[in-house]
Amino acid sequence: MQESFRWFGPGDLVTLPDIVQAGATGVVTALHDVAYGEVWMPEAIAERCRLIDAGSAGLLAWNVAESLPVHERIKLGDGDLEPLFENYRISMRNLAAAGVTTICYNFMPLLDWIRTDLAVVLPGGGRTVRFAIEKHAAFDCFMLQRPGAEADYSDDVLTRARAWHDASTEADRDRLLSSIMAGLPGAYERYSVERLRPLIARFGAVEPGQLRTNLVRFLDAVCPTAEACGISLAIHPDDPPRPVFGLPRVVSTEADFADIFERVPSPANGLTLCSGSLGSSPDNDVVAIARRFAGRIHFAHLRNVAKEPDGSFQEAAHLGGDTDMVAVTAALLDAEAKRLATGGRAIPMRPDHGHELLGDIGRPFHPGYSMIGRLKGLAELRGVAAALSWRDGQHGQG
């Protein structure tokens, strides 16, 4: 796999020399300052490529655009969408012309990944991010005050949510809002509770079936261009893979992927195998998903989570948690070997959501994107891949 590292651009505390020292060869980045729905211009793409080349002494290349965002009107199916589709097609052509041929995107309405805590202290002193179901419910039921929200939670969760909210200070509630908003990448707009209410109400009126239809409409509009210019589109799973705040989700399960690929069979239509997003649901077998859709995996996010019976989870070490990362890596290597044998491309992979460790603790990184935790994760994943490759090579000689 092509070892890669996410970089949020010139303002990122993680530098390009840091990424070189980690041993990666690919940079996963985006033009976060470009508004949703606007064209990524050739000059801006070329400048980002120039920065990466100059900042890494030519040792790194921009290999994945994460994300070329899908405008919210497309998810809503709102109005004349052809201008937005055309802008997306132009941006794809511009990226392909610069050699960036993998695009990660998501179809999560309004909010990207959601966590309730960004600095949970681990037993050894490191820090991690967490999704606590009672805080999520407290925000939904008592801060957002979404009509009917209580029906989405068990009595036990609601009791704990009420207790947390009643005991919370204004600073606690502000911190919870900030944590929930932190999943929006780069410089994208953050929302207040007051601003969030009408937006959630608007998206909450969209049925899951309609959201899926809107996704298919988007893919039908852009996949022919992707095929023509050699772009691989890699949809990211919902994170967490369940409805949140009444918002519909349609990229959460193995059945969801099967339906998306059946309805849009274009080879450009693929997935980002995010082992952490998928693994946070007890209903998902990440290894089985990787094996079933091996030919559709265009990109991989490798991380792990530890789940709890009530639906809470937190980011674990890359080789810890509930998902068998050795088996996931083996599935990816098998998929890659088959495509390389027929002239296909290697699978870009990046370590996702590392812990805050050592000198990174408390520094203002993007949540989940400290340097040392991801460096540790990449080293561990590299070791797993090397061991599997050696084993398979020895087996072949036997």
Q: Report phi then psi at 48, rounded to 5.
A: -65, -40
| Structural tokens at position 395 | 């087996």
Closest CA to 22 of 292, 261, 278, 360: 360
- Tokens representing residue 351 in the block: 């370590």
Q: How far apart are CA 5 and CA 71, in angstroms?
A: 25
Catalytic status, residue 301: yes
352 has catalytic annotation: yes
Q: Which of 18, 238, 352, 360 is catalytic?
A: 352
How do 348-351 and 2-6 pair as beta strands?
parallel
Residue type at position 162: R
Structure tokens at 91: 């941006």
Could you tell me the CA-to-CA distances from 297 to 161, 179, 232, 268, 347 in Å, in that order?
38, 30, 9, 10, 8
Q: Is residue 88 annotated as part of the catalytic site, yes or no?
A: no
The H-assigned helical ranges of 37-139 are: 42-55, 72-76, 82-97, 133-138
Which one from 236, 298, 318, 355 is the annotated catalytic residue? 236
Bridge-based pairing of strands 102-106 and 117-121 is unpaired
Phi/psi for 237 (5° steps) reads: -65, 160
Which is catalytic among the residues 105, 353, 355, 360?
353
Name the pairing type of β-strands 297-302 and 232-236: unpaired
Q: Which residues pair with 302 in a beta bridge?
A: 351
Determine which one of 104, 141, 223, 274 is catalytic.
274
Catalytic: 49? no
Residue at token pair 């211009």: 41
What span, in angstroms and rounded, lies between the C-alpha atoms of 279 and 115?
A: 15
Contact assessment for residue 355 and residue 128, using Cβ atoms and an 8 Å cutoff: yes
Q: Does the annotation mark 71 as catalytic?
A: no
| Active-site pick, 71, 136, 298, 301 | 301
Active site annotation includes 298: no
Q: What contacts 369, CB < 8 A, 6 or more positions away?
A: 6, 8, 14, 353, 354
Question: Which of the residues are catalytic?
Answer: 236, 274, 301, 352-353, 369
